[in-house]
């Protein structure tokens, strides 16, 4: 049975979501998963893949910006995003020790998908691969994730509703000492007489219970049962997608606003946390810059009017994290033995917001 999402529990979120309330509300954005669960092998991990657009044959750049709130983590390809303002190919997210496998798998997928381009050009692949640590619920040192799993997640990518909680890379993740993992949300925004969509996907693996604040309520203090940490030892990856035409500079600013949404949950971004955010725009479809001639023409929204997108990014990030937590179910830890990481009590959570408009 599908668990209710946070809105279904009566949590009074601001803003207008898209029809799926997911990153896939942004036209053309696809999400896929490869989920790996085998208690006999202490395996609870997987891969999440995001395809910004279903290009084939010849890659098309996706304009992007990146921001790191706290750097105890990894997201590959970001140096080039800072310098060039774009990336090509998929985004893959998994556990800390899977970075190499994901990078190889995503590279192989790109070489196959863009085969004519690689055959004709001195082409190179620099996929975006990110991670958070799942060593409490998964034997991370067993290196369960392989390049084939990365390709399976990419090939699974589709539009429509997005599964949450213990799916894909979120399978072994914990947030605020509740079972969490993958979460998503979206917002619809009107700017300059046009309607745009912004969507967020998070891999939530951060925070301490006593910090947890949901829509202004001290939920962690009101629901302390099952807390087990003395310090934060997690991370969060946030991917923001939009069809609004933004410059790489504006997209970097948009990625920063994920920090506002994460902070609404109560975390100060601890020293051991990797809080790494990426924003991209599917607008301005065009060829690779080296194939575009001397001029690259982009339509860009004026930064003076995009504050509603900043707000949408904060709101959708906050909701995506809560959706990840609400989707979680209690799981036994691999290390330490005997620990049960609890799923949040959805009935109790709903009661905290009962009769609130």
Domains for the chain: give ranges and CATH numbers.
15-334 (3.60.70.12)
Query: How far is CA 17 from each of CA 24, 134, 244, 318, 323, rounded to the nearest angstrom?
Result: 11, 30, 15, 13, 13
pLDDT at 1 (0 to 100):
55
**Secondary structure tally for the chain: helices H, strands E:** 8, 14
Q: Quick one: tokens of 38?
A: 């085998």
Active-site residue identified among 186, 247, 250, 273: 273
pTM as predicted: 0.97
Question: Is the peptide bond prior to 336 cis by the omega test (within 30 degrees of 0)?
Answer: yes
Per DSSP, helices labelled H in 141-196 are 147-155
Please indicate whether residue 38 is annotated as part of the active site. no
pLDDT at 357 (0 to 100):
53
Please indicate whether residue 235 is annotated as part of the active site. yes
- What confidence tens digit (pLDDT) does each residue in 222-248 have? 999 999 988 888 899 999 999 999 999
pLDDT at 323 (0 to 100):
98
The answer for residues whose C-beta is within 8 angstroms of residue 63's C-beta and 6 or more apart is 85, 86, 246, 247, 248, 251, 280, 281, 283, 284, 298
Ranges of residues in the chain with a pLDDT under 70 are 1, 356-357
Q: Quick one: tokens of 132?
A: 């958070």
Please indicate whether residue 272 is annotated as part of the active site. no
Active-site residue identified among 94, 250, 275, 281: 275
- H or E, element range at 276: strand 274-281
Give all strands (DSSP E) within 128-180, no chain letters. Answer: 128-132, 174-175, 178-179
Query: How far is CA 168 from each of CA 68, 83, 162, rounded to the nearest angstrom?
Result: 23, 30, 11
Active-site residue identified among 235, 247, 250, 281: 235
């Amino acid at each position: 049975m599908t668990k209710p999402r946070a809105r279904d529990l009566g949590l009074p979120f601001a803003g207008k979501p898209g029809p799926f309330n997911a990153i896939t509300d942004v036209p053309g954005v696809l999400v896929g998963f490869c989920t790996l669960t085998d208690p006999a092998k202490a395996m609870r991990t997987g891969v999440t893949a995001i395809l910004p657009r279903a290009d084939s044959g010849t890659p098309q750049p996706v304009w992007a910006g990146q921001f790191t709130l706290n750097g105890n983590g990894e997201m590959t390809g970001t140096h080039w995003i800072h310098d060039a303002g774009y990336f090509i190919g998929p985004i893959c997210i998994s556990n800390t020790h899977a970075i190499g496998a994901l990078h190889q798998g995503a590279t192989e997928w790109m070489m196959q998908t863009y085969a004519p381009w690689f055959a004709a050009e001195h082409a190179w692949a620099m996929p975006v691969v990110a991670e958070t640590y799942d060593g409490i619920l998964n034997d991370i040192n067993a290196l369960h994730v392989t390049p084939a799993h990365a390709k399976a997640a990419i090939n699974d990518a589709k539009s429509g509703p997005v599964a949450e909680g213990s799916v894909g890379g979120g399978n072994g993740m914990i947030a605020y000492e509740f079972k969490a993992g993958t979460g998503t949300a979206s917002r619809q925004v009107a700017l300059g007489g046009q309607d745009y969509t912004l969507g967020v996907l998070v891999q939530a693996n951060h925070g301490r219970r006593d910090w947890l604040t949901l829509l202004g309520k001290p939920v962690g203090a009101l629901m302390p049962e099952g807390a087990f940490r003395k310090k934060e030892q997690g991370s969060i990856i946030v991917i923001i997608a939009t069809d609004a035409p933004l410059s790489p500079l504006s997209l970097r600013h948009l990625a920063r606003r994920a920090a506002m949404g994460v902070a609404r949950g109560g975390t100060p971004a601890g020293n051991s946390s990797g809080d790494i955010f990426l924003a991209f725009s599917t607008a301005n479809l065009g060829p690779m810059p080296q194939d575009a001639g001397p001029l690259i023409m982009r339509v860009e929204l004026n930064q003076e009017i995009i504050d509603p997108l900043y707000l949408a990014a904060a709101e959708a990030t906050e909701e995506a994290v809560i959706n990840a937590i609400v989707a979680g179910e209690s799981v036994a830890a691999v290390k330490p033995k005997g620990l049960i990481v609890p799923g949040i009590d959805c009935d109790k959570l709903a009661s905290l917001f009962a009769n609130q408009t």
